[in-house]
Amino acid sequence: MKLSDRFDLFHLLMLALALGGALVLGFSGSGSSAVVTGTSRQLEQDLAYRARIAFLRDVYAPVEELMTQGRDQQALLKLAEIARRYPGEGYGLLLRGRILHRLGAVEQAAAAYAEAVRKNPDFVDAQAPLSARQEIAALLETELQPVRQRAVGQGKSPSARRALSDLRYLQSRLAGGCE
Amino acid sequence: MPVFDRQFWLILLASVLLGLCGVALAVLGNPQNSGICISCFLENSAGALGLHGNERMQYLRPELIGFVLGALASALAGREFRSRGGSAPMLRLLSGVFLMVGCAVFIGCPIKLFLRLTAGDLTALSGLAGLLAGVWTGLKGLAAGVGFARAEKQGGAAGVWIPLFFLLGLAALFVRPAFLHFSTRGSGAEHAPLLISLGAGLLLGVLAQRSRFCVTGSLRDTFLMGRRNPLLWGLVVFVLTATAANLATGNFHPGLYGQPGAHLEFFWSLLGMYLVGWLSVLIGGCPFRQLIKAGEGDADAGLVVIGMLLGSAVVQAWGLAATAAGVPLYGKVAVLAGLAFVSFNTLSGRRAEA
């Protein structure tokens, strides 16, 4: 490059100073308000997630206690009570699915599980704190075939068809992939 | 078949490696069937840059950086790096946005379409039909005189900025500045080891730049030239390699149900890929090819890349992207808006040509 005049020299100097300054600031990583804001954002994100988990565990602790005692009907009533306060909460739906599955109401359990996972895909992540991956896999293992037979066999049942669609959704979610 | 042509062998090599890497990266940690997926990776990268708030889709994918920088290195080494552009910038930017809309509704770019198929995902057949129809429609448009004008050599350094942006991305990947987000759960948290992803991206970037391999380009040229088209053989080899790799790694599960990252709304998969095929012909290549061209100094492709990044952010932020549950209402509206966009531009393009 030929530096023909002061104009070129000025701009080259400006380029070198700007690049040098940006590099020094960028790699020093301290004293910049932007960095502080950025850190807070990531921290806020992680805090919000953990706080949410802790809150859900706290809110649904009475339900889980009733379930441990085997009082599933009371647990369902308690879930309905909590749902009035927090309608549409995914974890409540997940617990509902768990109870209904235990009670043998497979089609309703599939609907509850599918709705829970639609609201929060974390429930099928293996490492997530509130993961229900194993129980959903177990549900699919034992119920997919019978539900399919009821849905497509003789005397096709509309509720079984809906349940089949829910189970297939859960099956696809368990298989992974992008979302 | 032009067996002894150097270009032909380069295409075959690129295709084999694309098939192998496409499966291997998923085996090594990338989401299932998404060893290579430009649209998924762009959605992850947009999330990492804070352009959308889906905490499960945030990761600055090294493969994307590798594609662009590999193409840059190859173009520089082969003295093919030329700063060029200046053709229909707004249309290209918006085409990039709508490319991502079509991909998000199908759940995957054309490369992932074939990776899904080679893993036995039969739901992807509707996407394939859509892509073929889209490419055919685009070709009909080209034959009728529609098309964005060719990029011309430009003064200044317009073609440098996208490679530079990705070079900064590479630095950011290692420095991990605080403004970047990285998912701790969901598909954004699933990734192959960084250096392997980056290496695979660089290798494929170099080979794709040398060979000009492109999925929609293969289909387009096959419609034009039939079996004489070397890219067709590349596509065939890519499919065979990926199928063999999926079979060898136990990832081949033929069927319609329980497929990873797939839904059963076939009509919308078809329309989504129809949009992608049509747009890809008009702008001269699929999302992967646009990244490679941007690495070669094509500022027009660079604008498509920026549009794709913007589109990736929009589909996540506005909830347009399909999931295993199906296609959201506004995702369907966005595909129709994309089809309206490309139809209008085809009409007005033809009028201008006349």
Residue B48 falls inside a structural domain: yes
ipTM exceeds 0.90, yes or no: no
> What pLDDT, in 10s, does the model give residues A121-178?
999 998 889 999 999 999 999 999 999 999 987 778 889 999 999 999 999 999 998 8
Is the pLDDT score of B100 beyond 90?
A: yes
Running DSSP on this structure, what letter comes out for residue B196? H
> What pLDDT, in 10s, does the model give residues B174-202?
988 888 999 989 999 999 999 999 999 99
In terms of residues, how long is chain B? 354
Residue A131 falls inside a structural domain: yes
Min Cα distance A26 → chain B (Å) is: 8
Quote the CA–CA distance of B340 and A93 in Å, as a whole number. 40
Residue B103 falls inside a structural domain: yes
Residue B133 falls inside a structural domain: yes
Residue A50 falls inside a structural domain: yes
Pairing of strands B152-153, B84-85: antiparallel
- Per the model's pLDDT, the better-predicted residue between B4 and B238 turns out to be B238
B244, exposed or middle or buried, with CB in 10 Å at 0-12, 13-18, 19+? Answer: middle
Write out chain B residues lying below 8 Å of A127, CB-based: 185
Structure tokens at B300: 């027009």
In this structure, what CATH number is given to the domain that contains residue A116?
Answer: 1.25.40
A113, exposed or middle or buried, with CB in 10 Å at 0-12, 13-18, 19+? Answer: buried
Which of B184, B265, B327 to probe the A interface (max A CBs under 10 A)?
A: B184
Domain count, chain B: 1
CB-nearest to B34 from A125, A171, A177 is A177
CB-nearest to A177 from B32, B175, B179 is B32
In the structure, what pLDDT confidence band is assigned to residue B113 with cuts at 50, 70 and 90? very high
Residue A88 falls inside a structural domain: yes
Residue A166 falls inside a structural domain: yes
Q: What is the mean pLDDT of residues B314-338?
A: 96
Residue in this structure with the two tokens 């019978």, named with its chain if needed: A146
Quote the CA–CA distance of B117 and A7 in Å, as a whole number. 59
Is the pLDDT score of B149 beyond 70?
A: no
Q: Structural domain of residue B284, as residue ranges?
A: 6-347
Write out chain B residues lying below 8 Å of A143, CB-based: none
Write out chain A residues lying below 8 Å of B31, CB-based: 176-178
Domain count, chain A: 1
Q: Is B175 helix (H, G, I), strand (E, B) or coil?
A: helix
Q: Structural domain of residue A157, as residue ranges?
A: 44-176
Residue A143 falls inside a structural domain: yes
Residue B91 falls inside a structural domain: yes
Q: Is A172's CB within 8 Å of B185's CB?
A: no
Whole-model pTM: value is 0.92
Q: Is B74 helix (H, G, I), strand (E, B) or coil?
A: helix
> What pLDDT, in 10s, does the model give residues A40-94?
777 888 899 999 999 999 999 999 999 999 999 999 999 999 999 988 789 999 9
Quote the CA–CA distance of A134 and A141 in Å, as a whole number. 10
Residue A23 falls inside a structural domain: no
CB of A34 less than 8 A from some CB of B: yes
> What pLDDT, in 10s, does the model give residues A26-49?
777 654 555 555 567 778 888 999
Q: What is the mean pLDDT of residues B281-285?
A: 93
Residue B353 falls inside a structural domain: no
> What pLDDT, in 10s, does the model give residues A12-26?
899 999 999 988 887
Quote the CA–CA distance of B206 and A128 in Å, as a whole number. 38
Q: Provide DSSP, B96-124.
A: HHHHHHHHHHHTS-HHHHHHHHHTTBTTH
Contacts of B70 (CB under 8 A, 6+ apart): B201, B202, B203, B204, B205, B206, B207, B208, B209, B295
